[in-house]
Chain A
């Protein structure tokens, strides 16, 4: 459903992506792993249309995304949960959730949709009226995910969802990814915690210095200590 071919991107003077090709199929969790600065975040941002200088091809359900503004890519069914969660300060949990529903015209009644998403995230349900920045890191991550998937996108891209979160909540979040896959959503996952990512993923790509250097089934990579040592050791 997502086919990235020879994607190049520039950040200021830096040539951040120098030919990234990868694929995400329906109902699949794909991990993108690599060192800090390898180009993981830039890959997601370029797919979402947040990096102005880029070339190559990004096909989403056979449609070319490059050249489309970010909000049009969202409308096609692509969602993105950025690093650091980006919860909007000054807004309640409910208003942060509402932000995820504004652009989605098919959605139906707002209160019903909030109820539905709150069923999936019981921790948020009790805290809807609370100011969102008072949530714990893990709860904020859940809110960021809820905000991105309340519009029922076809593909969700997540950047470092386990960063700075208590282990018990990390498990809860990664269980959710499996449920999303069962429900028919595809996931492209960028994760610093390689073991964690490979345990949940079907396939994985390794990126280094702006290029995809390796690609294999997740289970295979999980067993391959040499590759992990070479490209993912911090």
Chain B
């Protein structure tokens, strides 16, 4: 399978196999009209199978959500066909409307148009809790 190299854009690599489509939606990539390649179940020496996303445009999106999904994946920023920056996303302090609070007693279950906001409370164990009821994100 051949996927064209990109000139300016990002490559998200080392995505756990099966999570590629989730990331595609979380980042709102479905709303872009540029070339986007999602490679599923690609061979990986370290992970056996992985997903990869290639976006052929300079993105102006908040990548912090990637840290919530998987801080071990790799983000490559491409400019003029070369990797100019490569990093693992950090755990974001807060994620908004990425995960829903499952506590039926939480105000988010009834309040109109209230965002589901989770904050990092335990960095070591990657624990996020609902800011309203403190229920752990699953």
Asked whether A and B interact, the reply is: no
Residues on A lying within 8 angstroms of B by beta carbon are none
Chain B positions near chain A (C-beta within 8 angstroms): none
